[in-house]
Amino acid sequence: MHIIVCIKQILNPDIATTNLRVDEKAKRVVPLPGISHVISPFDAQAVEAAMRIKDARIDDTKVTVMTMGLQSARAVLKVGLAMGADEGVLLADADFEDTDSKATAQILVAAIRKLEDADIILTGRQAADGDVGVVGLGIAELLCRPAITFAKAISSTNGMVQVVRVLENGFETIEAPLPVVVTVAHEIGKPRFSTLRETMRAAKKPVQTWTSSELRLNPQEVSSAGAHRRLERLYIPVKMTKCEVFDGGTPENTAAKLAQRLKEVGAI
Amino acid sequence: MTKDSGVMVVAGWEDDFSLTGLTTEMLGLARRLSDELGGPVSAVTFGKNLQSLSQPLYWQGADEVILVEGCNLEPYQADAWLPDLVKVIQDYTPKVVLIEHTVIGMDLAPRLAFRLDTSVAMGCERVAVKGEKILFTRACYGGKVLEEISFANNPSVATVKAKTQTSLMPDYCRTGNLMVVSSSVTDAQIRTRILDRNRVVSEGIRIEHAKVVVAGGGGLGGSEGFEILTELASVLGAALGASRVACDLGWCPPHYQIGLSGKTVAPNLYIAIGISGAGQHMAGCTNAKFIVAINSDADSPIFHCSDFGVVGDYEQLVPALAKEIQKLIT
């Protein structure tokens, strides 16, 4: 079995808003110096899901981690490899910058086709920077494969995949034939820690780098795919809220003051 | 019908065949957009024996109702809905297609955009006409940043976040055109199969409808914390919610989760207890009328987005608050 996990390097999503700036003219997020780049947390969970499938299977299962980005995105491939993935693929090309979800899906699909047949393609439910959640389903559409979103558990038997899917008020179990695309929800749980040994081993695992020409992509096609979407404005919303803090000395007095105020404003 | 005009809403409904709150919100939005853009508001919905839905759809703003009827359309599966949805959209050629930003909509909209070879804006909080363009405003970077995007291709597909739009007052005199279509999809075309479905029936008030929400986070320190919150919630007639941290730690059921990857609520009063106020959480409750923060850390970002706050130990404060509120409301 071959599992491909598509992962993305993003600005650390845990940074405080105060460490984030937006250059409104360039319409870009500018991190303050020293802010790290990390694997998108949902994608780390997609790698975890791949490793759990691999651990549960008796056959030879290969896990490939794939990312599109700058040369620096190699770092997230290393994260995936240190978690136990077998190979890495980096898609790096100047043409790949500023692509929209559609172009991204097209580029990833070109690379997926170039690799040996994938049985399961995994992505996080959304990248934690754009918070869009389109690429995974786009891959499925372009490859004409079934897709299941928001997985909290994945297993594969008899040429099928069984996925427990998170609903608003519960869960459903869905089955689909391989090959299939599955997007992973955070409900799948914590990604495993990499041991020092795995991290050392990861350094020796093969990582291929492909550019646009190696994927036989038409650069015009890739750039025009993104041309329908126009970013008009990017900004940090200003919060006008001023917090009225209560302190009555004792919990009872504080609670009484707060309750009184809530009553005054019609909150209770 | 003029090509690329009007707004189509993919309507959702509850088990009792009433429209979802979000669908009435989307119809209100569609009405406002259509009045500016021209063209009708159409509503399409999937299921069987849906006739009773057409009237509420007109009352809330639809001019045209398209019911796609079939035996394999419930519960939702993308393969069952997409072929007919694509056809309906190609027939009606709306300029904008609005879909609920729910588990169904988040699964459906991206696929639809690819099939129509068009663009999609996910989780919109605002949709507005500006000259020739339609601007879609949505949160990114875990709710810390907002982006406004427009598209050059038609139709634009957008998912709309709950509690961000205003529904119209139902106009019981409104009526419109009804079209009933039989689903063209056979079981063989549906590649997925639902083996099992467990829906948690939450006791008490549904969090999406609650006037008051009491939510707990990592600061509670354990599942016992939710027992203390339950006491306050029962005094207030509130629904219980939680931050992602508390859900991930297993202190409460996953459907308690409020935020970007959970539910969106807009109660009159939101009481956040032991919640730090991460952007991705606040994205789910920012439209609450009043936010109260109770947190032991005075520097917690939650105090930047709350109207009222108390710095202190929730284990002492929350029972005291329950008592005081009880006194005031009885």
What is the predicted ipTM? 0.94
Q: Is B209 on the interface with A (CB under 8 A)?
A: no
What pLDDT score was predicted for residue A223?
A: 66
- What is the Cα gyration radius of chain A? 22
A267 contacts B290? CB cut-off 8 A: yes
- Say what the pLDDT of residue A241 is: 74
**B320 touching A (Cβ < 8 Å):** yes
Q: In the structure, what pLDDT confidence band is assigned to residue B325 with cuts at 50, 70 and 90?
A: very high
Percent share of chain B, pLDDT over 70: 99
d(CA B38, CA B32): 10
pLDDT, tens digit, 9 for 90 and up, residues A185-201: 999 999 999 999 999 99
pTM of the model: 0.92
Percentage, residues of chain A above pLDDT 90:
81
User: 180-209 in A: which are within 8 Å (CB) of B?
Assistant: 185-187, 189-190
Q: Cα–Cα distance between A17 and A133 in angstroms, integer?
A: 22
Q: Select the residue of B255, B310, B316 nearest A170 (Cβ to Cβ).
A: B255
| Per-residue pLDDT, B202 | 63
The percentage of residues in chain B with a pLDDT greater than 90, rounded to a whole number, is 89
Interface of A with B in 81-110 (CB under 8 A): 100-102, 105
